[in-house]
Structure 1
Amino acid sequence: MFQKVKFKEQLQKLIGNSTTTEFSERTGFNRTYLSKYLNLRLDRPPSPDLLRAIAGPQVSYEELMVSCGYLPAESFSLRHSVRIPILGAVHAGMPALAVENIEGYETVDASEVSACHEYFYLRVQGDSMINARIYPNDLVFVRKQDDVESGDIAVVIIDNETATLKRVLKKDGLLILQAENPAYAPMVFTPAELPRLHIIGKVLHVKFKL
């Protein structure tokens, strides 16, 4: 059975921040029919070939096939994995050069990502974040963004060449890169020094490596 309300929700996820025109041009989905599906005005699903063309990290081809009645829901797990690249290493100690070469991939569930952002893993070197349960050789899952809230753990580029993993604290106009290990002193930057820093992403979770 065609679950047109579910299919509408899936379309909205796939469209994300794009316009319907942009989505139509990118996928080949006729804009008139797209509008009708979004307004629940069609009772027949698109073809499997079109579903394959519009599927993405947000909603898998199999999920679309289920909502459109081509596959039974019990025939497979709806949990869909997305491959995330590992972009070298980041130092959790004294800042070290981040080598942005893909060294492999890890998978996350599609529910953990959004079409609005880019994501990547970095391998941790150093021990300055051990009290946050981030240890050498762990992988930190990073959402790319150029600012974070005070208290977030972030990857920060210093002087356009060195990268470090620290907790970002904002207080009285200062930006502090705080270690989670008392052996390391905080790094304090005044407003005049802030142009030296570039936040490249927020740490969302850690994969522990034994």
Structure 2
Amino acid sequence: EIATNFGVSKITVHEHLTHLEKKGAIFRLRARARGIQVLHDPDSPEALGIEPQKEMSLPLLGKIAAGRPIEAIEDRELLDLGELIPHGPNHYLLEVRGDSMIEDHILDGDYVVVERREHAQNGETVVAIIDDNEATLKRFYRESGHFRLQPANTNYPPLIRDRVQIRGVVVGVIRQVR
């Protein structure tokens, strides 16, 4: 069926399946028709050939006032950054380009942590595909008869579309101070 569907030979299909099995992407149940089981997400770090990093932690030395000064007390503990940054097989990063989300404190050059989802609630910041091929980061609103993708910058108008594909919802922002 695979060979017919893709217009290739059965030998080519066998070679590809063998290669995928060796990479750990699939498991084949030899005695069953259609006995192919996908073992992990094709967009996962492993499938993309990216070695996941080990857990990272930094010493947390206390609190610092950003308003009225407070007494300098040094606490020593280790803070696991993995607890601060949502991560898992359904999460990925995108680098932000542009200034349409600055009122939500998402700036050009920031990284957004995205949870891969196909649906969003009104008001959530989403990664959306519009006009068949263009990706954008906006607040999502389902309204009667259309979708509104709302920038968080009054210099930009909302995008009104009949069709929107949600690729994920923003669950975090990472910024480097330069």
TM-score, normalization by structure 2: 0.51
User: Is residue 201 from structure 1 mapped to residue 175 from structure 2 by the alignment?
Assistant: no
Q: Which residue does 2:144 correspond to in 1?
A: 172
Q: Write the letter of the residue equivalent to 1:201.
A: G
Identity %: 32
Aligned ranges 1:6-45 → 2 under 5 Å? none
Paired residue for 1:149, among 113, 117, 121?
121
Match of 2:86 among 102, 112, 115: 112
Q: In 2, distance between residues paired with 1:178 and 1:160?
A: 19
Q: Quote how far apart the aligned CAs of 1:160 are.
A: 3.2
Taking the aligned partners of 1:153 and 1:128, their CA distance within structure 2 comes to 12
Give the secondary-structure state (helix, strand or coil) at the position aligned to 1:154: strand
The amino acid across from 1:167 in the alignment is R
* 1:174–1:206 CA distance, 2 compared to 1 (3 A): same
Q: Distance in 1 between the 2:108 and 2:135 partners? A: 15
Q: Larger deviation: 157-166 or 197-206?
A: 157-166
Counterpart CA distance in 1 for 2:160 and 2:86 is 32
Distance 1:154 1:109, change over 3 A: same
Note the 1:104-143 alignment, pairs <5 A: 108-109=82-83, 112-113=86-87, 118-143=90-115
Unaligned runs of 5+ in 1: 1-25, 27-56, 61-76, 82-107
Please state whether the residue corresponding to 1:112 is helix, strand or coil: coil
| Counterpart Cα distance in 1 of 2:109 and 2:84 | 24
Query: TM-score, length-normalised on structure 1?
Result: 0.44
1:118-170 per-residue CA deviation (whole Å, 9 max, x = no partner) reads 11000000000000000000000000011100000000112332110000011
Partner SS, residue 157 of structure 1: strand
**How far apart in 2 are the matches of 1:130 and 1:110?**
22
Contact 2:86 2:171 in 1 (8 A): no
Give the match's secondary structure for 2:103.
helix
Considering Cα pairs closer than 8 Å and 6+ residues apart, tell me whether 1 or 2 has the greater RCO: 1
Q: Classify 1:160/1:174 alpha carbon distance in 2 versus 1 (closer, same or farther; 3 Å).
A: closer
Shift of the alpha carbon at 1:208? 1.5
Q: Does 1:163 align with 2:135?
A: yes
Cα offsets for 1:184-209 (capped at 9, x unmatched): 000112xxx31xx2110000010113
SS at the partner of 2:108? Answer: coil
Closer, same or farther in 2 for the Cα pair 1:109/1:186, shift >3 Å? same
Q: Compute the RMSD of aligned alpha carbons.
A: 2.7
* Structure number with larger C-alpha Rg: 2
Aligned partner letter, 2:171: L
- CA 1:131–1:110 in 2, change beyond 3 Å: closer, same or farther? closer
Q: May I ask how many residue pairs the two structures share in their alignment?
A: 104
Query: Offset at 1:111?
Result: 8.1
